[in-house]
Each structure stands twice: as C-alpha cells, then as structure tokens.
Amino acid sequence: MKIIAVISQKGGAGKTTLAVNLAVAAELQDVPTVLIDLDPQSSAKTWHDIRVSKEAPFVVSSQASRLEEVIGASRANGAELVIIDTAPHSESSALAAARAADLVLIPCRPAILDLKAIGTSGDLAALAKKEAVVVLNAVPHQGKLAEEAEEAVRSYGLTVAPVKLTQRAAYVHSLTGGQAAQEFEPDGKAAQEIAELYKWAYTRVHASTLETVRKSA
C-alpha cells in the first residue's frame, strides 16, 4: 500500500481539490483508495457526503493522533492507496501526514503569497525525510505566471510536477456536485489533466518507495 500526503500551510491552495481528484482517478484505474481527511473543516468528508455513489473512494475524517490507526485499518481492509488531506496552518497535522507518506505533494497557486508559503511545507517534508513535489494549481490559461512560479519553486530547492492544473470551471462545479473532474466531464481538459497527474504520481510514489528501500539497504 502506498501513501500520498497533500500538505500546504497556505489556505486555499487547492489541497482538497487535488486530494479528491487523485482519489477518484485511482479508483477509475481499479486501485482501492482511502482518503483520510485531517482538516477540522472536513471539506473532503463533506464532498463525500453529497456524492451519489458513496462507495468509492472511501473517505474518513480523522485526527492526526489517530492517523496510524486509520492507515492500519485501511491496509487491513484492502486499500492499495491512501491519500491524506491536511489542514492549513497546522504544522503538527502536516508533519504527521508527511511522516506517514511515501510521497508529499504540495499544491500551490502561482501567486506571491502562495509561493512564499511553500517554504514551510517543504521544510516539514524535509523534517519527515520524505520527497516533496509541488503541484502548480489554478494556473491561468495564458501568460508567463506558470514559468515564473516554477522558477520561484525551484529557488526553494523543491521539484515541480510536470503536470499542472489549469484554472478551470470543471474543478469547481464537480466538487459542488460531489464529483471529480473525470466524473463531471469525462472528455474535458480538466479530466485529462487529472488523468495525467495521477499517472505521474502513481509512477513517482512507487519510485520513491524503491529509492527509500535502496537507501536503507
């Protein structure tokens, strides 16, 4: 079983959007997935509550102190992937998630305040000794903001995911209806972005695990 933690110390960075879309993408590839919601606002759990089909992905609201227990239960019940959605402004929650994860994803909008906040998130991943990759989110369709943001991210010594999430209405409308982009508009550009991002993340999380094994050998 693999674990991906989605962390950001900046509110509104798109953690839940990233987490639920990756969880649904995994299920569409027949990968049994559990989404653990550590945010007291329970945005991911609320999303799950309004879904027409509540079977998959399974979403559980939890506290950081019970994370190990919930992960163990997920493994015992056959989950192949766990995605952890964390709260902003909570270093303890983010650190617990990062320590449990095989890969840390940091969503970030290409805006100055968001970019300044990724340093703290990167430090938490480093403290947990886990690989962290920034996923640029809500990128404008045109302009050089994405390129400028990539340069800013690299100045923190962090890697940028090759797939970016563009600012699209499909992400907003799908969450409102308890869906993910691939369910709301299967042939849309947002669905294609998520499919590509999931494919990359799936490959990366397995590669990260293998690298950890090599280093400990």
Q: What is the DSSP string of 136-185?
A: E-SB-SSSSHHHHHHHHHHTTT-EE-S---B--HHHHHHHHTT--HHHH-
pLDDT of 192: 97
Return the pLDDT at 29: 95
Model pTM above 0.85: yes
Domains and CATH numbers, the chain: 2-209 (3.40.50.300)
**Average pLDDT along the chain, 217 residues, taken 10 residues at a time:** 94 93 96 96 93 84 95 96 91 93 95 85 93 94 83 91 95 94 96 97 80 43
